[in-house]
Structure 1
Amino acid sequence: MRKLILLRHAHADAASTGQADLDRPLSSVGLAEAEAAGKWLKEHNLLPDYVLCSPSRRTRETLEAVLQVTGYAEQKLEDAVYEATPGTLSGLIADRSDVGQLMVVGHNPGLEQLVALLADGSTSDYRGMPPSGIAVLELPEEGPIEPGVAKLTAFWWP
């Protein structure tokens, strides 16, 4: 089995007047949450081999804080992760089927819907994913990324 680690960005400041949503930074609470997420990942040996990260400032800052705790991982800023649907995210994950432990750092509602889709086969009955929340799914080594194919093995939030 290979692992998919989905990490929602930590708490961000509200956009200031004229500030684009992409440019919202983490709040001080968010920085602490991201560090806690890194500690949890390290304690559970969930160290990503490769990371796909939304280009938003809050996701990049979340990833940076996590990797300061867990150590370096190869990474790519992926524009498609920002405002992604579960279908878009599934396609990105399928394209990285060679990665043993893939992490995606992104946003809701796409991440929480993806968890429900992969684990339960539906996007209409999802639990939510709080800021800095982590969902860990096991995926088969081979085969398509499709509804119900994964097993949710861990769900954590600060």
Structure 2
Amino acid sequence: MATREIILLRHAHADSAAAGEDDMARSLSAEGEAEADAAGVWLKQHGAAPQRVLFSPAARTRETCERVLAALGHTDARSEARIYDATPASLLRVLDDHADVNSVMLVGHNPGLENLVALLTEGASDSGRGMPPASVAWLALPDAEAIEPGSAEARHFWWP
């Protein structure tokens, strides 16, 4: 049976906000750049081939996405404002809006991502176990199934 894949990627480590700097403007640190590069290598080695990549407009998620996609050679990447500071329900709506593709990678933030992983795999969003910076949660669902709580299987969980 064919599956639908959802790859969730948390942004890599970012520099702290400078005085007066907006959280959205925080860039990756040198450590974060290395983490994002490592995530890209890992995803490529494991055959990741998302048909669409959605990322939060925050600088750190955009930069993480760019570094990962440099390794994957992917071009259909779209900024999605609803990913920033999102709840699991908001992230589900984003995924539902992109149901026309079988493989989506979403680059975002905690606690939304870790709570979404818990919701999709365990059925409850309050049982999240954490997603370190630049971590990947690769989920699979039967393609005929709607994205519902408890409907996903965790294929991989990785972090640098």
Distance 1:62 1:75 in 2: 12
Matching of residue 115 in structure 1 with residue 100 in structure 2: no
5+ residue gaps, structure 1, are none
Which residue is equivalent to 1:12?
14
Q: 1:92 aligns with which of 91, 94, 101?
A: 94
Runs of 4+ in 1 over 6 A off after TM superposition: none
Q: 1:51 aligns with which of 40, 50, 53?
A: 53
TM-score (norm 1): 0.98
Which residue is equivalent to 2:130?
128
Which residue is equivalent to 1:146?
148
Shift of 1:94: 1.1
Do the aligned partners of 1:46 and 1:101 also contact (CA within 8 Å) in 2?
A: no
TM-score (norm 2): 0.96
Give 1:70's aligned amino acid.
L
The residue matched to 2:126 in structure 1 has which SS?
Answer: coil
Do the aligned partners of 1:119 and 1:151 also contact (CA within 8 Å) in 2?
A: yes
Partner deviation per Cα, 1:20-54 (whole Å, 9 max, x = no partner): 00000000000000000000000000121101100
Identical amino acids, percent of aligned pairs: 53
User: CA RMSD, aligned part only?
Assistant: 0.8
Give the total of aligned pairs: 158
Shift of 1:73: 2.9
